[in-house]
Amino acid sequence: MSVSGNAQDGRGRAPFPPRWVKRTGMTLGSVAITMLGLLFVTFLIGRVMPLDPVLAIVGERASPEVYQRVYQELGLDRPLLVQFWFYLQDVLRGDFGTSLLTARPVSEDIARVFPATLELATLGTLMGVLLGVPLGVLAAVRRGSWIDQIARVVALVGYSMPIFWLGLMGLLVFYGILGWVGGPGRLSIFYDGMIEPVTGMILIDSALAGDWTVFRDALSHIVLPASLLGYYSLAYISRMTRSFMLEQMSAEYVITARVKGLSERAVIWNHAFRNIRVQLITVIALSYAGLLEGSVLTEIIFAWPGIGSYITNALLSADMSAVLGGTVVVGLAFVLLNVFSDLLYKVFDPRAK
Amino acid sequence: MTTFARLLSGAALSATFIATAPALWAETPANMLVVANRIDDITTLDPAENFEFAGGDVLRNVYGRLVNFDPLDYEAGYQPDLAESWEVSEDGRSITFTMREGVTFTSGNPVTAEDAEFSLRRAVLLNLTPSFLLTQFGFTPENIEETIRAEGNMLTVTTDKAYATSFVLNCLTATIGSILDKKTVMAHEVDGDMGHDWLKTHAAGSAAYSLVAWKPNESVTLQANPDFYQGAPAMKRVIVRHITESATQRLLLERGDIDVARNLNPQDVQGLDGAEGVRIHEELKGYLMYASFNQKIPELQDPKVLEALKHLVDYEGMANSFLKGQWTIQQNFLPQTYLGAVRDNPFSLDVGKAKELLAEAGVDGLDLTIGVRDVQERMEIAQSMQNTFAQAGIKLNIEVGTGKQILAKYRARDLDVYLGTWGPDYPDPQTNASTFAYNPDNSEEAQNAGILAWRNSWDADDLTEMTDAAVTERDTAKRVEMYHEIQARFRETSPFAIMFQNIEQDGIRDTVQGFTTGQAIADASYWKVTK
C-alpha cells in the first residue's frame, strides 16, 4: 500500500525543473557545444592552411613594413588560443569581423548572400519534394512498371550528370535559344535596386511591395537554377522514397490492411506512407541542408550571389573572418534543421513523444 | 485525377506561364552600358589602397587626376586633366601644376589645389600598399608639408632627386594619383583615418561618373556626372556585373543582355566568330607571362643552363595553339606600347641547342619543381614546358595550387621554378625595370619580396645601377636607349624566361563604340562610349 501511496504522491508532484525546461535546456546546450566545436575546428583549419591572410590584404607588392604592420593589426603575432578567445568574444557580441574581400562587416555580407541561397534552396527543395515524393511512391507501388523505370532513369541521371554541364545546357536551351527564362543573376539589370530589401529574398520582397513586374522577372531568373537544384533533390528524394515504400509495402500490416478490404489508395497513403514520414523528414532535411550550404557550381554558372560562392571565395583568399562567419551560419542552419526534424518526429511518431 | 497527374498538370501550367511571360529585353537601353567582368578582386575603392584591376577600372571613371590619358589616343601619352599645365624647375626636382578652373566634384565642391595636395599627402600618410608609387620620389610623412604644397591655384611637388619628368607624371596617372574631394572625405573621418573606412565603399571624385553602388561579387553601378568638365558622358549609367563563367558571358552577350564580355576564353571567342551583332575587340595589355628559375639552385646559376632553359620553351607552339589570340610572344620585360619596349625575341624551341648548352655546362638530368596557379592556361603552359624540358633530360614536376599558395612559396624563395604573370603598376618603364632588373640587396634578411629578382635570389648584376641611372635620365631619347641596353643584357643573363604579353579579347555588341580597356598603360574607361 505504502508503495502505491508513494507512487500516487509522485504522480501528483510536478517534476522540478519541468520536463520541457530540461529538454529545451539540453537542446540549447547541445546546440551551443556543437557551434563552439564547429567554430574552433574552422578557426584551427583557417590558421593552419598554407594561406597568408596578410597578403590577401596588402597584395603581393607591399613593402615589408606594410606587411608587418597589417600582420600585427590582425593579431597574428599572438598565440593561437588567445586569437581564438578574442574571436569568440567578438562573435558572442555579434561581431564576426570585417571581410577582407568586401571591406564590409561579415554580418552585413551574410545578411546579403544567405537570403539569396535560402530562396534558391527552398524553391529547389520544394520542387524536389513535390515531385520526388509522389514519384518515389508511385515507383514503389508500381514496381517494374514504366513509372518505376522513369524514376530510375531520373535518379540515375541526377546522380551521374555533372551539375556544371547540366546548368550550362539549361542556360543554353531555355535562356539562350528559347528565351523562356531570365539569364544569370537574380534580376534583370533594369530592375536592380528597385526593391527595398526586407527579407533579402526578392520573390518575397517584391510580393510584399506589390511589384509584380519585378516578381515575374525574379521568378524568370530563379526558375532555372531552382529547377536544377530541385532536380538533384528530386533524384535523391524519389530514390529514397521508393526504397522506404518498398520496405513498407512488403510488411505484414500492409497485407493485413489489404485482406481487410481497404482500398489500395488507403493502404498506400494511410498506412504505408504514414510509416515512412519520419525517415522522409530526415532525407528532406539533409537534402535541404545540403542546398543551404550553397551549391557553389550552380551559383557560379548562374551568377547567383549566394553563401556557397561567398565562403569559397573567402576561403581561397584567406579571408578567414568571412569563412568563419559563413560557416557559423551554415552550421547553425544545419543544427536548426536537425532540431526542427526532431520536433517533427514527435508530431509524426507517437513513440518519440 | 491522381495526385501525380495533378502535379504534372501544375508543372505544365507553370511552364506555360513562363513561356508566355512577356518577352525579355532583347538589348540593353541606348544610354546604358552593361559590362560582364570578374570583379571579385575589388576589396576596396579607396584610391590610396586600391591596387587591383577591377577596382582600377571603377576608379579611373570616378576620379580625375592631375594628368591622365585620353581613352581614344593612348599613344599621345599623359595629357592635362585636373591640372591644365605644369612647369618643371631648372634642377628638375620640382613640378608646379596649375589647376584647371571651374571644375567641380560630384558633390558640387570646386576642385582646388588644396584637394590635390590633400589627396597626395593622404596617400603618403596612410602608407597603404600602393603608397610606394609616391614614396619612391622621397615623399615621407615627415616631409610632405614641404614636398607636396598647394599655393593658390598651384600645386608643387618636389622629389628627392631629379627624376625623368615622364616618370613622375606617369606615376601620377595611376589610381593613387586620384584627386579626392577633401571636404566630403574629411566629413566622414573616424578616429583620424582620413575617411579611409568610408572611402572603401564610397567615392568622392570629379570625373565622368559617380559611384552608385558596389555590391561585392555582384555588381558595380556608376551614374553619369552631368557636370563632367569634358562633357556629360553618353552612357548615363554603367553597370558592371560579376559573371565568372566565360560561357555565361557569351550567352548574355549573344542574347543582348550585356554590351561587353570581358572574360571570354579562346573557345568562346572562336564561337562568337560570325555571330550576329557581336564583334571581338582586342587590346594589347601589360601583363607578361614568364617562368623564372631560382638562383639558390647551383645548376641554375650557370648562364649556359639558363640559356638552354630559354630554348626549351615552345613559344610559337603555345602562341599558335591553346593561347591563340590571347597571348603574343614577347621575351622582354617591357610590354609593347611602353616607352623603351623592344621586339627582340631571340629564343625559340631548339632542343638540340639546349642539349649542347647543358652538356657544355656539365649538367645532366636536372629534377625541378615548377609552381603553377590552378588556372587552365598556366597549367597547359606548364605541361608544355614539362614535355619540352623532358626532351633535354630535365624532369619538371608540376606543383599546382591556388594563387595564394603558390605566391606564398614564391615570395619565400621556395620554388625551383615559378610560372606566372606580372602586370605593370604604372605606365613607365621603371615599373618593370625596378622589379625584374633591380635588386639592391639579395640577402635573405632583406625580405624584398616585392622585387621579382629577389624572389628568384638573383642579384641582378650591374643592372641595378643601370636601372637607377635610367630613371634619372632626363633626356627621353637617351633614356629609351638605356632601357634597350638593359633589356638586351637581361635577356642574356637573367634567370627569367619572359614568354608572352597578354591580349585582351572582349566580346562587344556592334552598337558599342569608343570602349577601351586602357591598353597596357591604363584601366577601362567608359566616358567616350557611345551606342
What is the pLDDT, as a whole number, of residue B273?
87
B252–A contact, CB cutoff 8 A: yes
For residue B394 the three cell numbers come to 630535365
What is the pLDDT, as a whole number, of residue A11?
54
Chain A residues closer than 8 Å to B244 by CB = 300, 303
Tell me the C-alpha distance between B301 and B495, whole Å.
8
**CB of A49 closer than 8 Å to CB of A320:** no
Tell me the C-alpha distance between B522 and B283, whole Å.
11
Chain B residues closer than 8 Å to A237 by CB = none
- The region of weakest confidence among B201-210, B291-300, B399-408 is B399-408
Per DSSP bridges, beta strands B209-215 and B237-242 are: unpaired
- What are the backbone dihedrals phi and psi of residue B110, each rounded to the nearest 5 degrees, phi first? -70, 150
Computed over every residue of chain A, the mean pLDDT equals 85
A26 contacts: CB under 8 Å, gap ≥ 6? none
Q: What is the pLDDT of residues B258-280, one digit of tens each?
A: 999 999 988 899 999 889 999 99
Closest CA of chain B from A129, distance in Å: 11
What is the pLDDT, as a whole number, of residue B3?
47
Nearest to B124 by CA among B140, B146, B136, B138: B140
Mean pLDDT across B503-521: 94
Mean pLDDT across B124-130: 91
Three-state SS at B422: strand
Strand partners, B155: B97, B150
For residue A86 the three cell numbers come to 578574442
Chain B residues closer than 8 Å to A219 by CB = 18
What is the pLDDT, as a whole number, of residue B331?
98
Mean pLDDT across B199-210: 96
CA atoms within 13 A on the CB side of A195: 27
A177–B contact, CB cutoff 8 A: no
Mean pLDDT across A181-194: 86
Chain B residues closer than 8 Å to A190 by CB = 25, 29
**CB of A58 closer than 8 Å to CB of A100:** no
- The region of weakest confidence among A264-278, B251-265, B424-438 is A264-278
Tell me the C-alpha distance between B399 and B408, whole Å.
13
B255–A contact, CB cutoff 8 A: yes
Q: What is the pLDDT of residues A284-319, one digit of tens each?
A: 998 998 888 767 888 888 989 999 889 888 887 778
Taking only residues 234 to 293 of chain A, the set having a beta carbon closer than 8 angstroms to any beta carbon of chain B reads: none
For residue B273 the three cell numbers come to 566568330
Q: What is the pLDDT of residues B448-485, one digit of tens each?
A: 888 999 999 999 989 999 999 999 998 888 999 999 99
What is the pLDDT, as a whole number, of residue A140?
92
What is the pLDDT, as a whole number, of residue B1?
42
What is the pLDDT, as a whole number, of residue A294?
65
Mean pLDDT across B436-445: 96
Closest CA of chain B from A10, distance in Å: 51
The amino acid that residue B378 corresponds to is R
Mark yes or no for CB contact B242/A188 under 8 Å.
no
Does B67 score more than 80 pLDDT?
Answer: yes
A85 contacts: CB under 8 Å, gap ≥ 6? none
Does A207 score more than 50 pLDDT?
Answer: yes
Residue in B7, B25, B244 closest to A300 by CB: B244
- Residue B65: exposure state from Cβ atoms within 10 A (0-12, 13-18, ≥19): buried
Does A97 score more than 80 pLDDT?
Answer: yes
B34–A contact, CB cutoff 8 A: yes
Closest CA of chain B from A101, distance in Å: 5
Chain B residues closer than 8 Å to A318 by CB = 404
Does A55 score more than 80 pLDDT?
Answer: no
What is the pLDDT, as a whole number, of residue A7?
44
DSSP state string for A272-295: IHHHHHHHHHHHHHHHHHHHHT--
Tell me the C-alpha distance between B178 and B167, whole Å.
17
- The region of weakest confidence among A310-324, B157-171, B432-446, B507-521 is A310-324
Computed over every residue of chain B, the mean pLDDT equals 92
Mark yes or no for CB contact B52/A189 under 8 Å.
no
Does A115 score more than 50 pLDDT?
Answer: yes
Three-state SS at B240: strand
- The region of weakest confidence among A80-84, B205-209, B339-343 is A80-84
For residue B124 the three cell numbers come to 603618403
Closest CA of chain B from A32, distance in Å: 31
B65 contacts: CB under 8 Å, gap ≥ 6? B81, B82, B172, B173, B177, B178, B179
> What is the three-state SS of A87-117?
HHHHHHCCCCCECCCCCCEHHHHHHHHHHHH
Pick the residue of B16, B134, B251, B272 with the most A CBs within 10 A to test the interface with A by mutation: B251
For residue B499 the three cell numbers come to 614568354
Three-state SS at B479: helix
What is the pLDDT, as a whole number, of residue A96?
87
Bond before B298 cis per omega within 30 degrees:
no
